[in-house]
Amino acid sequence: MQNLPYRAVVSDMDGTLLNAHHVVGEFTAATLEKVAAKNVDIVLATGRGYPDVAFILNKMNIENAAMITSNGAEVHNLQGELIYSNYLPEQLAFDIMQEPFDPYKICLNSYQGKDWFINVDIPELNKYHQESGFTYQVVDFAKHHGKHCQKIFFIGRTLEDLLPLEQRLKEKYGDQTAIIYSTPQCLEVMNKNVSKATALSELLKQRDYDLSQCIAFGDGMNDKEMLEEVGKGCIMANADPRLLTALPQFEKIGLNKDEAVASYLRAVFGVY
C-alpha cells in the first residue's frame, strides 16, 4: 500500500464536484481517475437518486467507488448492489406528501425505488440531469403511495417560501424524520437517522479504514455532519452561507464552476 494522505475521497455533487453546467467536467473526471488509480476509493455522496449517480460514475474509468444517494437513504457499490438503505415508513411518507403548501411557490417531489415523482411539470429541472437523462413523472400525490421512499423534497422559489413548511414538518414529524436543506431552495425529508455521515459509516464497515482516513467536500447543510466526522472536511466558496457560519474553522476552497475540488485533489495526492 502506498503512503497515501487519505484512503477515500468523499464528495457531494451539485455545487461541489459538478461544474456550473451540472456535469462532471473533463478536468474533474481525469482527476478522479488519476486519484482512483492510486487505490483511493471514490465516494459520491449526494441528494441525487441512485439511477442518476450511477450513470455519471460509470462513465469514468474507476474501479473502487461507491454511491451514497438521497442524502444517505441508500448506499450502492459500483456494481449496483445495495449495501445499505433506510427508507421512510410507507404510511409516514404518504402522510408527509399530503402536507399543505402554496403551489405557486413550492413544488413537491419524491424519490421512490428508481423513480422520481413530482406534483407539477417543471421542465427547467431537467437541466440538472441532462447528463444521465434521469427525469420525473408527474403524479397526483393525493392518489399516490409511500412505498420504497428514500426522500420527499420541497423545492421553493426562495428559502423564505420554505420556512413555514419546515417549521410545521419539524413540529409534526421531527421525532420520526431527518429534515435538512440540500440547497437554500430545497427542503428534504428522510427517515430518522438518515444522513451522508451515517451512510458513510455504514459503507466503511466493509472497508479496512475509518472516517479519519477520508477527505470530504461539500457545499450544503446536508453535508455538515459528513464534513465534521471525516479526517478532513473542505467547504466550497459557493457554499450555503449557513454552512459557512456553522463550520467557520473549516478550510474553504474555490468554486465548483472552476472545478476546485479537482484542483485541490491534484495538490493533495500529487497527481498532475
Q: Which residues partner with 9 through β-bridges?
A: 42, 215
For 54, phi then psi, to 5°, come to -60, -40
Helix (H, G, I), strand (E, B) or coil at 266: helix
Q: Judge contact between 45 and 12, C-beta under 8 A.
A: yes
Grid cell listed for 248 = 467557520
What lies within 8 Å, CB to CB, of 58 at 6+ separation is 78
d(CA 148, CA 114) in angstroms, rounded, equals 9
Active site residue 223: no
Helix (H, G, I), strand (E, B) or coil at 83: strand
Return the residue matching grid coordinates 502506498.
2
End-to-end CA distance of the chain: 20
For 111, phi then psi, to 5°, come to -105, 120
Q: Which is the catalytic residue, given 12, 52, 219, 223?
A: 12
Catalytically active residues, by annotation: 12
